[in-house]
Amino acid sequence: MHEVLQCEEHACVYDSHKVSRYRKNTFDKDEFDNLASESAVALVYNGISHTVLMCSATELENLAIGFSLSEGIIQHYRDIHDIDIVHTVKGIELHIELCNRCFEQLKHVRRTMAGRTGCGICGTEQLDQVVRPLSTVGNQLTMDIASFDSALQELKQHQQLNNITGATHAAAYLSPNGEIVAIQEDIGRHIALDKLIGYIIKNKLEGGAILVTSRASFEMVQKAVIAGVEILFAISAATMMAVELAQQSNLTLVGFCRPGRADVYTHPERVTCHQ
């Protein structure tokens, strides 16, 4: 196995592995495939381990910020005093120094979640920790669906890690004109979105929409609302709970997004169509 690409000091993003490839009744045993790497990343707040995520070891500072916000651990970027990325033999530790107020609040919220890429709530102990009260988002943004089409067509070329491995999700931040401003990738769809939210907060971006290359579950809607985003586009379907939460939170939720088509589930007034 050969390491192909490095990121953030020692973390490997993907590796090349020998495979036997079956194509049209023949085997080719001398082919290589690029496999996305999974790394164990522990989030440690003020010296106390909170959770472990299996994820792609990129944009870890963005992950620390976005996860902390979307989980309700912080309310503002300034609530984090410092982030230190520590590589160990067993994985990576994100040492996050919180302000005293947030750390005291965190100690009252017992989470034993063993983070997994397929579920955003694994290990949550109480029902009220799953669906938290959310504020409603504003009404400042409208987007022409035709301008959004160009973002969909350009999305693939921006997904560098997925183009190599075919194994990662992406979350992209779009300008009101449908331009891709930023994109974050990860093997986990929730984590890709957390990374993007961290990027949005750190760079003080406002007035745009989010596009995710996955279905729109209620956790994805919840994260978008917490980030103050008014429109969430998803490549795949939306769940019923996601639609209900989006309706309550004044979020425009759009699913099955493809060039020339989209299904607007909630608050369609933000999406226009100019022929």
Q: Which sequence positions are flagged as catalytic? A: 119
**Distances, alpha carbon 93 to alpha carbons 10, 39, 63, in Å:** 13, 10, 12
Q: Is 259 annotated as a binding residue?
A: yes
Q: Which residues pair with 44 in a beta bridge?
A: 49, 95
Q: Are strands 180-186 and 48-55 parallel, antiparallel or unpaired?
A: unpaired
Residue 53 DSSP code: E
Q: Is 256 annotated as a binding residue?
A: yes
Place of tokens 């050969």: 2
Q: Is 260 annotated as a binding residue?
A: yes
Residues whose CB is less than 8 angstroms from the CB of residue 24 and which lie 6 or more positions away in sequence, other chains included? none
Q: Are 80 and 133 in contact (CB under 8 A)?
A: no
Q: Are strands 231-234 and 252-258 parallel, antiparallel or unpaired?
A: parallel
Task: Give the Cα separation of 227 and 209 in Å (integer).
Answer: 11
- 124: helix, coil or strand? coil
Q: Is 261 annotated as a binding residue?
A: yes
Residues whose CB is less than 8 angstroms from the CB of residue 242 and which lie 6 or more positions away in sequence, other chains included? 216, 217, 218, 220, 221, 253, 265
Which residues sit in the known binding site? 256-261
